[in-house]
Amino acid sequence: MSDENILSSTQGFDYHEEAPGINAEEFQKVIDSRRSVRVYTDEKIPDKIITTCMNNALLAPNSSNLQPWEIYCVQSPEKRKELNYACLSQVAAKSAATLFVLVARTATWREHAREMLTLFSKQPEKVPKAAFSYYKKIVPFVYTQGPLGIIGFFKRILYFFRGLSAPIIREPVTRKDMKLWASKTTALAAENLMLSLRAYGYDSCPMEGYDAKRIKKILSLPRDAAVVMVVSAGKRAPGGIYGKRIRYNPERFIKYV
């Protein structure tokens, strides 16, 4: 089967009798040949650029002023070698000059608020009074959510009379809420990081898969930390990206509403 026939038969996953899924080995060879593979040179990224790009990552938009993520910049050969195995020995991880691990902090909203107030107290002259007021007014979980949430209970009564479809305002106060919220904003930070690196002429690539448990052990991360993304970065080697990528039928996947 020709390369063109295989591609056309995979458009929109509309397989028919001649689809390569019938011959799994042949189909896998085509997929492997088209997969984008980053291969980097051994050129080191200047520290100043790395610092600037990580600072840019911190500017990722989120729904509050809380800082819900951490960035681990891994440059030592020993740690990069360990992370290479944790990233399933992917080519981009193996040849990267630097590996970035972006981790979501899944502490509750209240815990974040306490930390922010502690930071504010160290430089009170630089912090607006409105900021202090914002973090002090965050009420504990027990008053807003759950069967005994007094404030939440009265909110529900209020919105019931306003209409059954009216939304109930709530902040992400539970640890489950915080994990989801923090993971989303951390992904935006990773995007900022990759775009910044590319603006300086360095290539960047998110890993397709990794062993989060092993990464936590390598970086001594707490058990409840959520590894959101591992990004490889470096100077792109000539011919480091090869093969066409399968493009699916836009009519199937792009909708105008």
The pLDDT, as a whole number, for residue 159 is 62
Residue, of 77 and 66, whose pLDDT is higher:
77
- Contact criterion met (CB below 8 Å) for 144 and 171: yes
CA distance 119 to 129: 14
Pick from 204, 190, 202, 199: which is nearest to 43 by CA? 202
Going edge to edge, which strands form the sheet with 98-104?
Answer: 69-74, 98-104, 226-234, 203-206
Q: Predicted confidence band at 243 (pLDDT cuts at 50, 70, 90)?
A: low
- Contact criterion met (CB below 8 Å) for 67 and 181: no
> Residue range 36-46: average pLDDT?
87
- Contact criterion met (CB below 8 Å) for 218 and 86: yes
Q: Report percent pLDDT > 70 for the chain.
A: 67
CA distance 68 to 234: 26
3-state secondary structure of 73: strand
Domain with CATH 3.40.109.10 in the chain: 47-107+175-234
Q: Report percent pLDDT > 90 for the chain.
A: 35
- Contact criterion met (CB below 8 Å) for 102 and 228: yes
Structure tokens at 240: 């480091």
Beta bridge partners of 71: 102
pTM of the model: 0.69
The average confidence (pLDDT) of the chain is 78
Q: Is the pLDDT of residue 18 over 50?
A: no
- For domain 47-107+175-234, is the CATH number 3.40.109.10? yes
Integer angstrom CA distances of residue 247 from 30, 158, 205: 13, 50, 19
